[in-house]
């Protein structure tokens, strides 16, 4: 069915019982609200503690972004790509996208390689309209 609509899907043969690795719970802070991120940035924390990583495509980033953020699209974050070397391991990484979906994927990918990562909760939508 999925192939008929153009999606290349895979499944775990034998279901969850066939899983051979330990499941590891995410170790980082998870999410940060736009309100808390603004407070950190207003205190000057971005200079030494935070790295704002916008994982949207370059054309989206050009439309608008958070000042001081760096644009590396999600598709360029594979560990075999040079762009992962542009991300500091000694800072807390805040991944950013429009709504939080791509940034969550980026969070899990980067955590796997030893980065301390949180996601901007609800993405740039929350930055524009904090709740």
Which tokens hold the place of 111? Answer: 């955590």
Share of the chain above pLDDT 70, in %: 75
> Does pLDDT of 28 surpass 60?
no
Domain borders along the chain are 29-128
Answer whether CATH 3.40.250.10 is correct for domain 29-128: yes
Pick the more confident residue, 102 or 48.
102
pTM comes to: 0.75
Strands in 70-71's sheet, in edge-to-edge order, are 30-32, 116-120, 92-96, 50-54, 70-71
84 and 78 Cβ atoms separated by less than 8 Å: yes
- Rounded CA-CA distance 96/28 in Å is 16
Q: What is the 3-state secondary structure (H, E, C) of 91-104?
A: CEEEEECCCCHHHH
* DSSP 8-state class, residue 81: S
State the pLDDT at residue 83: 81
- Rounded CA-CA distance 94/87 in Å is 11
**pLDDT tens, position by position, 43-100:** 875 556 889 999 999 999 999 999 999 999 998 887 667 788 889 999 999 999 999 8
Pick the more confident residue, 85 or 28.
85
State the pLDDT at residue 2: 44
- Please report where in the chains the tokens 């935070």 appear, as a residue: 50
State the pLDDT at residue 20: 63
130 and 33 Cβ atoms separated by less than 8 Å: yes
């Amino acid at each position: 069915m999925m192939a008929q609509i153009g999606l290349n899907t895979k499944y775990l043969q034998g279901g969850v019982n066939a899983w051979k690795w330990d499941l590891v719970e995410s170790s980082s802070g998870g999410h940060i609200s736009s309100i808390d991120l603004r407070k950190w940035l207003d205190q000057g924390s971005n200079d030494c503690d935070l790295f704002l990583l916008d994982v949207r495509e370059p054309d989206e980033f050009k439309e608008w972004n958070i000042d001081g953020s760096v644009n590396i699209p999600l598709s360029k974050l594979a560990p075999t790509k040079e762009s992962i070397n542009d991300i500091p391991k000694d800072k807390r990484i805040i991944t950013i996208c429009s709504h939080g979906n791509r940034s969550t994927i980026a969070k899990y990918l980067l955590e796997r390689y030893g980065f301390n990562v949180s996601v901007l909760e609800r993405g740039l939508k929350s930055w524009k309209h904090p709740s």
